[in-house]
């Protein structure tokens, strides 16, 4: 994090990345002094409503973040900046996205949690677009030009106002990671009477074990363990707001719909209270570690891996076979995971995998048979990428 004082003093001359969060209400002109070097500009967590028309002076800028501000429209000046490849304006008040505000070189566009009701037809001109995050808006229909997004690999459409499943998505040749829960066309939540419901006061939460977009996972112990669960459990307490993947309540519903499987983190019970929604799970043994790492800005939609990480051919095929069986199980439950990545997989020394993180999961049993087959084909594309990545780790 940098400061205005540093910027104004000239102490930041020559930097490539600038991050300022100081309740800004206007764009600091001193940023232009960095035009010869600045590639990444992060103005998130301020009070900005617009960007200046001469932002084009930042000719080297590739990445712009302006999340958690007060923007009511996506600034048109962005469309005049051909070098911009990644744009992030989540958690604003954006209702309007004009025909002229999106640079055609965009690879990664994040507009999560705004007030967007419609996308411009010009979005079809973004032929390099690989990742598009639109969860938590009010979009009721996708423009026909969406069919031109031939490189789109990851799409988040959850928590919008779509009355029908957008069939044009089924023809996108690269789409592999799709989230669409929380729309009017989606099925209602189940009551999941087969899972025990417990109370938040029945347990004590201890140290945080993990943190995701939808909530915190903590170690829990029981004050009242009348159901005979293990003394120590993991408890994921969901946030109430929309996340980059959709509504936390949809994640909980999908997880309980899938139930128990040897390669899934074991759900035990759930908490459903006005001020607390949570999932109680079995603790994951300490010898499990992440199979992969999240995509980088460079790889965009593809996982990264630890330097030197490798498997034998036999180990790789064992991992792949477990994931194939899991995806077949998901299909039998009519649930799409939507985020089938190695970084969402845990593995131990014996090669046993545990698959988790259901934030992008979507139920689809109410769709037509053709639509269900299309959703499954999209997830199978993600499976193919997963297999390619795992085989790429095999020792020569």
Binding residues for ATP: 236
Cα–Cα distance measured from residue 108 to residue 97, given in angstroms and rounded to the nearest whole number: 16
CB burial of 115-131 (b: ≥16 within 10 Å; e: otherwise) equals ebeebbebbbbbebbbb
- For residue 228, is it left (φ>0), alpha (ψ between -120 and 50) or beta? left
H helix or E strand, kind and range, residue 390: helix 369-391
Do the Cβ atoms of 39 and 26 come closer than 8 Å? no
DSSP 8-class letter at 283: P
Q: Which residues are annotated as a binding site?
A: 236
Sheet with strand 108-110: strands edge to edge: 17-19, 40-42, 63-65, 86-88, 108-110, 131-133, 154-156, 177-179
Tabulate helix, strand, coil % of the chain (nearest 5).
25, 20, 55
Cα–Cα distance measured from residue 356 to residue 345, given in angstroms and rounded to the nearest whole number: 7
């Amino acid at each position: 994090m940098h400061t205005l004082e540093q910027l104004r003093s000239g102490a930041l001359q020559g930097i490539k990345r600038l991050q300022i969060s100081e309740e800004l209400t206007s764009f600091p002109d001193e940023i232009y002094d960095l035009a010869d070097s600045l590639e990444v500009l992060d103005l998130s967590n301020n009070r900005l409503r617009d960007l200046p028309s001469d932002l084009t002076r930042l000719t080297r800028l590739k990445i712009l973040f302006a999340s958690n501000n007060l923007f009511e429209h996506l600034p048109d000046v962005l469309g005049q900046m051909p070098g911009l490849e990644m744009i992030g304006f989540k958690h604003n008040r954006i209702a309007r996205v004009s025909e002229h505000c999106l640079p055609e070189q965009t690879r990664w566009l994040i507009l999560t949690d705004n007030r967007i009701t419609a996308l411009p037809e010009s979005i079809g001109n973004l032929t390099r677009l690989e990742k598009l995050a639109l969860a938590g808006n009010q979009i009721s229909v996708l423009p026909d030009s969406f069919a031109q997004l031939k490189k789109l690999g990851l799409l988040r459409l959850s928590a919008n106002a779509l009355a029908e499943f957008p069939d044009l998505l089924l023809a996108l040749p690269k789409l592999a990671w799709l989230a669409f829960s929380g729309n009017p066309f989606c099925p209602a939540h189940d009551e999941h009477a087969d899972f025990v419901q417990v109370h938040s006061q029945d347990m004590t939460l201890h140290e945080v074990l993990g943190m995701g977009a939808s909530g915190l996972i903590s170690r829990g112990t029981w004050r009242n363990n009348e159901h005979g669960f293990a003394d120590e459990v993991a408890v994921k307490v969901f946030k109430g707001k929309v996340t980059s993947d959709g509504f936390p309540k949809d994640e909980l519903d999908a997880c309980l719909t899938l139930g128990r499987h040897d390669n899934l983190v074991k759900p035990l019970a759930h908490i459903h209270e006005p001020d607390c929604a949570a999932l109680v799970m079995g603790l994951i043994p300490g010898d499990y570690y992440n199979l992969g790492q999240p995509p980088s800005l460079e790889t965009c939609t593809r996982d990264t891996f630890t330097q030197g990480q490798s498997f034998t051919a036999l180990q790789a095929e064992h991992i792949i076979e477990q994931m194939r069986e899991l995806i077949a199980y998901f299909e039998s439950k009519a649930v799409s995971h939507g985020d089938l990545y190695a970084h969402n997989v845990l593995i131990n020394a014996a090669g046993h995998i545990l698959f988790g993180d259901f934030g992008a999961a979507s139920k689809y049993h109410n769709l037509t048979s053709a639509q269900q087959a299309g959703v499954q084909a999209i997830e199978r594309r993600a499976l193919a990428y997963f297999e390619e990545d795992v085989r790429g780790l095999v020792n020569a």
